[in-house]
Every structure is written in structure tokens, then in C-alpha cells.
Chains A and B, each alone.
Chain A
């Protein structure tokens, strides 16, 4: 047996989610238009993308609750069309919209859910207590879900996705609606889960979250993958090391910005004109600032910062709202 073949087999085994040319259509409308993915065991994989990009549609297909319209998809080495229950038995899912039973108590939502996976009652109770502690809802254990705040419901949904001790955790915008404390707590816990070998797939609109959590991510737009890589690679490939932001006083009309941009164009690799400021994408922000001053321009405020994923995101998907 030759070496390349062995290598291929082991790679196949390590790929928990494997998609090629994956599409999803709702009637005539194609929400996912042919994407290739490989999520490897133990990694944290992120989906970024504007509203309607097709992130949740992809997540539901991976969750084996939404049939694939075209292409191939293997999850945990199985085919969702035929092995849906076996796949779902090993997944933890936090859907974008909470699907809690609002008539039941916080604790009951967890214990009842654990039973669907075939866990014993004792196991469910123990897991519920542990997870309520983790999402800081122990005080609310007996309260009806109806009475929780939005963020508390979100935390409960996250806790619920962990009841079955999944191998693969699918989190669709897990921290939307959470306060900063809760978000940081969750990142911490997700990091520990990852260390324990759980594979994570996350969608988010928070760039800091993606940067913190994801080893690798894709930016989706219009049902396609626009870019893929680690946060570092994406910033390297689609932005510059630094960004210089120049703000001019209110006496400078935003229409003058174009003229100003013309004067500094050559100082940056790329320049972006916004209504209230100019962005100079450059590897050395301070040098750009010095050059701007040398040319006699007097910005009211100057900020030099590192490029972030947000810059990458906006570059790839544009600043305008679609739909």
C-alpha cells in the first residue's frame, strides 16, 4: 500500500463534516449554491456572512434535519439522507431561534431533552444540574421558561445542546442577545470543550467571537464561500496589517472626501471613503499618518489600528445591506 493512500484514508476519517458542491434550494430559490467544506476533528470552525448568506441553511443540513438539494455531504462519516438519527445522536445543536418548551421549567427542558437521546433519568438530572451551573441558571432551575429573559433563554438553549455530550457541536449564533459577561463565560467554556476534543461549528455576526474561537472559518455570501482560512490568514490575504482612520471636522463636507482621498491615494494599498472618515489600508499606519501631515492635510482625528476580521468581512461582502 503506498503512503499517499494511507494518508488519504486517515484524512477522510478525521473529516467530521465533508461537503462537495453542496446546495440547498427552497423551491426555485437557491440559498446555498455549491460549497465545499471539510471540518476536521477537534477544530473550531466558523461561518461568517451577512444576513441571508445561507449559514443557517448549511447548519441545518449539517444537523441532518434539512435534506440536501445537491452535491455530497457526509457527517461523522455518515450520509444524512439515510443515517439521520445516528448522526443526530452524536450532535449537539443550538439553533438560531430558541425552540424551548416555554410551559416547562428550566430544568425540565434539559432533563426531558436528555431522555430523547436515551440517557437515564439519573444521568439527565446530573447533567442538568451541571449545565445549569455552567450557564449560571441554577437559581432559575424551577422557573418556567416563559419567565426568563431573552439572554437567559439563549443560555438555556446552549446548555441543552450539551446535555448529550456531543462529539460535534453546532452553534447557530449562540451569543446573539447575551450580555458581555455571558459571552466571555461561554467562550471560555467552548474553549474548554474544544480542548476536551469536541468539534465546534459556529456561526456568528461577532467578529471578535470568530477571531477568539475559530481555528478556521469561511465567509459566506449569497450562498457561496467567498473566502476560507484562519483569522490570521484571512486578515493577511484580504486586508493589510494596519488601518489608518482619518476623520475630518464637520466643516469638511462628505463630498469633499473624494477629493481628499485623491491626495492620499498613493499612501495606502487600498483606500476606502466613508461618509465620516477615510480608511487607509497599509502595513505601516504611523508612516501613513506622518505622510498625511507632510502633505499639509489636517485631519481632526487620527486612529491607527490593527486590521480585524471585520475589515476582511466588509471587504468581501460589501458595506451595503442586501435585500
Chain B
């Protein structure tokens, strides 16, 4: 364990340097899209929904209904983005992972470093986004701030398995599939915009399989102060399982790829 931490510390400067070089470029992709959604759906669609009475939402505004879910969905998107091209780049294009394992670092350390960087990106982006949400009055209660750790967990639950897939890809065409058949459906049917119970039964069950739905549930329940401890524990455990199992496969995939 202490070796893992030490080897993580040794990678700090690398990731800090990468971040210094890329943060400006990632601003647009990180913030613009979620803000657009927030404006269009929360405020635009929201004023329309709210105008017809907020009874169905239990007395909160539509913005307050979707904001916690949108936060979790943003975490997912950032996490997947940071776990696709950067990971394959380290293996195939720039090959910097190979330079890392020529040092005392091991493939597992390299994977943990990558995941830690994803965590940092998710956390910082979501923190800013949460601030914006709060300023727009998107939080029904201050408890909504706990959406941040939930967003982090959602991010990691998505990042680890996507890294695992990326370490097994030969080219980037697989990423289009991940976005098309993974991220976008998960986003649309996450329950962020409407309760998934509105959906036909089989889609509803598919939605329950997605880690994002669990993140959205948790995030919204926290924000509205409607947490059911047992359900919340279930959500947490489900997200943690995706992260842990995903990490195991990601480490294994990277090891096989770097060591031949």
C-alpha cells in the first residue's frame, strides 16, 4: 500500500504538467455542454414545465429536479472522455506509459495514476458546475452540496471500466461505440430529466443497470433531503462495485498491454 502511494506521489508532477498544458483546452468541453443543458432544460424547459404546475415534481422547480442529475451526468461525461483517448494514447500513439514502466513504476501504478487524474478532473469540473447550479438556485437544500462526492463516485464508476476497455482496443473506433451505445443512452435514460418509471418496463430495467441512474438518484435524494438510507447504501455499493471491478480489469488490461 505504501509503495502504491509513493509511486502515486512520484507521478504527481507528470499529471500536474499535463493539466497545466491542457486545462484551457478542456474548459469548453468541460463546462460549455453542461451549462447549455442547464440553461436549455433547467431554465428554458423548466419555465414551461413549472408554468403548468409543479405538483408532479413534489413542489420543487424543474431546475431543482434536474440539476443534481445533471451534475452526476457531467461527471460521467468528463470521466469517460479522460479514460478513452488519453489511455489509448499512452499505449499506442505517444506510448508514454511505456516510458513510465521503464522506471520503478509498475503497470498497476500507472493505471492508478491515470485514475487519480480522472478523479481530479471530475472533482474540479463538478465543483465549478455545482457552484453555478447553486448560484442559479438549482439546489433545493444545502444538502445538495453532497452531490459532489457522489459525482466523483459516478465518475470513477465510469472511468475504471472505460479504461479497462481502452486498454483492450487496437484503435479509437471503439470509442465511438462507447459514446453512442454507452454514454448517450445512459445520459438520456439516467432519470436526470424525468423519472425512469415513465419508461416502458424493459428500458426502465436497463436504466437501473446503468451506474449513472444510481448516481442521479443519490444526488437528487440528497439535494431534496429525501434520502432513504437503505436505498442510498444500495446505490453507493453498486457504484463502488463498478469502480472496483473496473479497476481490476483496467490494471490487468494495461499490464498485458505494456508487458509482452
Chain A residues in contact with chain B, CB under 8 A? 26, 63, 65-67, 84-86, 88-89, 91, 93, 95, 97, 99-104, 108, 111-113, 115-118, 121, 160, 164
Q: Is the CB of A85 within 8 A of B104?
A: yes
Shortest C-beta distance, A237 to chain B (Å), equals 35
CA distance A103 to B100 in the complex (A): 15
Q: From residue 98 to 121 of chain B, which have CB atoms closer than 8 A to chain A?
A: 98-106
- By CB atoms of chain A within 10 A, which of B6, B99, B100 has the most? B99
Give the residue name and chain of the A residue nearest to B6 (CB): A118
Q: Say yes or no: is B134 at the interface (Cβ < 8 Å to chain A).
A: no
Q: Say yes or no: is B260 at the interface (Cβ < 8 Å to chain A).
A: yes
Q: Is the CB of A115 within 8 A of B13?
A: yes
Q: Say yes or no: is B258 at the interface (Cβ < 8 Å to chain A).
A: yes
Query: Using Cβ atoms and an 8 Å threshold, which residues of chain A touch B102?
Result: 63, 65, 88, 91, 93, 95, 99
Query: Using Cβ atoms and an 8 Å threshold, which residues of chain A touch B48?
Result: none
Q: Say yes or no: is B10 at the interface (Cβ < 8 Å to chain A).
A: yes
Q: Which of B6, B103, B259 contacts A113, CB < 8 Å?
A: B103
Q: Is the CB of A26 within 8 A of B95?
A: no
With A65-B258, A112-B14, A121-B13 as contacts: A103 and B104 at CB distance below 8 Å: no
Q: Nearest 3 A-B pairs (CB), nearest first?
A: A116-B103, A99-B99, A85-B104
Q: Is the CB of B17 within 8 A of A65?
A: no
CA distance A160 to B103 in the complex (A): 11
- By CB atoms of chain B within 10 A, which of A97, A103, A117 has the most? A103
Shortest C-beta distance, A115 to chain B (Å), equals 5
Shortest C-beta distance, B172 to chain A (Å), equals 17
Q: Is the CB of B17 within 8 A of A108?
A: yes
Shortest C-beta distance, B59 to chain A (Å), equals 50
Q: Say yes or no: is B18 at the interface (Cβ < 8 Å to chain A).
A: yes
CA distance A265 to B106 in the complex (A): 59
Chain B residues in contact with chain A, CB under 8 A? 6, 10-14, 17-18, 21-22, 94-96, 98-106, 258-260
Q: Is the CB of A117 within 8 A of B103?
A: yes
Q: Is the CB of B96 within 8 A of A65?
A: no
CA distance A111 to B17 in the complex (A): 10
Query: Using Cβ atoms and an 8 Å threshold, which residues of chain B touch A113?
Result: 99, 103
CA distance A65 to B260 in the complex (A): 8
Name 30 A/B residue pairs within 8 A (Cβ), A-sorted: A63-B102, A65-B101, A66-B260, A67-B259, A88-B103, A89-B103, A91-B102, A95-B98, A97-B95, A99-B99, A100-B99, A101-B96, A101-B99, A102-B94, A103-B18, A103-B22, A103-B94, A104-B17, A108-B17, A112-B13, A112-B14, A116-B14, A116-B104, A116-B105, A117-B10, A118-B6, A118-B10, A118-B104, A160-B99, A164-B103
Interface of B, helix, strand, loop or mixed by DSSP:
helix
CA distance A121 to B258 in the complex (A): 27
Query: Using Cβ atoms and an 8 Å threshold, which residues of chain B touch A116?
Result: 10-11, 14, 100, 103-105
Q: Is the CB of B98 within 8 A of A103?
A: no
- By CB atoms of chain A within 10 A, which of B13, B104, B105 has the most? B104
Q: Is the CB of A101 within 8 A of B94?
A: yes
Give the residue name and chain of the A residue nearest to B15 (CB): A112
Q: Is the CB of A99 within 8 A of B13?
A: no
Q: Is the CB of B21 within 8 A of A26?
A: no
Shortest C-beta distance, B248 to chain A (Å), equals 20
Q: Is the CB of A85 within 8 A of B260?
A: no
Query: Using Cβ atoms and an 8 Å threshold, which residues of chain A touch B10?
Result: 115-118
CA distance A121 to B12 in the complex (A): 11
Q: Is the CB of B98 within 8 A of A99?
A: yes
Shortest C-beta distance, B95 to chain A (Å), equals 4
Query: Using Cβ atoms and an 8 Å threshold, which residues of chain A touch B104?
Result: 85-86, 88-89, 116-118
Shortest C-beta distance, A238 to chain B (Å), equals 34
CA distance A154 to B258 in the complex (A): 21
Query: Using Cβ atoms and an 8 Å threshold, which residues of chain A touch B14?
Result: 101, 112, 115-116
Query: Using Cβ atoms and an 8 Å threshold, which residues of chain B touch A104?
Result: 17-18, 21
Shortest C-beta distance, B136 to chain A (Å), equals 35
Give the residue name and chain of the A residue nearest to B17 (CB): A108
Shortest C-beta distance, B3 to chain A (Å), equals 8
With A63-B102, A95-B98, A118-B10 as contacts: A112 and B260 at CB distance below 8 Å: no
Query: Using Cβ atoms and an 8 Å threshold, which residues of chain A touch B6?
Result: 118
With A88-B102, A112-B14, A116-B11 as contacts: A99 and B95 at CB distance below 8 Å: yes
CA distance A102 to B17 in the complex (A): 12
Q: Is the CB of A26 within 8 A of B98?
A: no
**Extra pairs beyond A85-B104, A100-B96, A116-B14 (11, CB < 8 Å):** A26-B260, A65-B101, A66-B260, A86-B104, A91-B102, A101-B18, A101-B96, A103-B18, A103-B22, A111-B13, A115-B11
Give the residue name and chain of the B residue nearest to A111 (CB): B13
Give the residue name and chain of the A residue nearest to B105 (CB): A116
Query: Using Cβ atoms and an 8 Å threshold, which residues of chain A touch B100?
Result: 116
- By CB atoms of chain B within 10 A, which of A84, A93, A116 has the most? A116
Query: Using Cβ atoms and an 8 Å threshold, which residues of chain B touch A100?
Result: 94, 96, 99
